Amino acid sequence: LAKTTQPISMDSYEGQEVNITCSHNNIATNDYITWYQQFPSQGPRFIIQGYKTKVTNEVASLFIPADRKSSTLSLPRVSLSDTAVYYCLVGDMWGNTPLVFGKGTRLSVIA
């Protein structure tokens, strides 16, 4: 299973764009990159998933370079409610494989 490395923590002011980068140097051909958000005492919540290039949805964008050895989650104009832990996970496309969590990035949004 590909190992991921993220910054332990980040701080941002409200209204700013936040970019969290994740390294996954040994990503395999079948692996997708998925980001989850977790609030205290809640289960993780899916944010976005991608395989290559750029993916955008209503809450975030995911940038993946051609070599796929890293990815960047971009949160536009964060608010206080975006304060959470963000996990980058790498796993294959088939549903029988569990997702293995790294340490995540604790994002603190300041007013």
Partner 1 sequence: GAVVSQHPSRVICKSGTSVKIECRSLDFQATTMFWYRQFPKKSLMLMATSNEGSKATYEQGVEKDKFLINHASLTLSTLTVTSAHPEDSSFYICSARTDAGTVNTEAFFGQGTRLTVV
> Where does this chain bind partner 1 (CB under 8 A)?
32, 34, 36, 41-46, 49, 87, 93-96, 98-104
84-92 and 70-75 beta bridge pairing:
unpaired
The distance of closest approach from Cβ of residue 63 to partner 1 in the complex, given in angstroms and rounded to an integer, is: 19
Q: State how far the Cα of 60 lies from the Cα of 64, in Å rounded to an integer.
A: 13
Quick one: 32 or 63, whose CB is closer to partner 1?
Answer: 32
CB of 67 to partner 1, least distance (A): 21
At a CB cut-off of 8 Å and minimum separation 6, what does 16 contact?
77, 78
Q: How far is the CB of 104 from partner 1 (least distance, A)?
A: 6
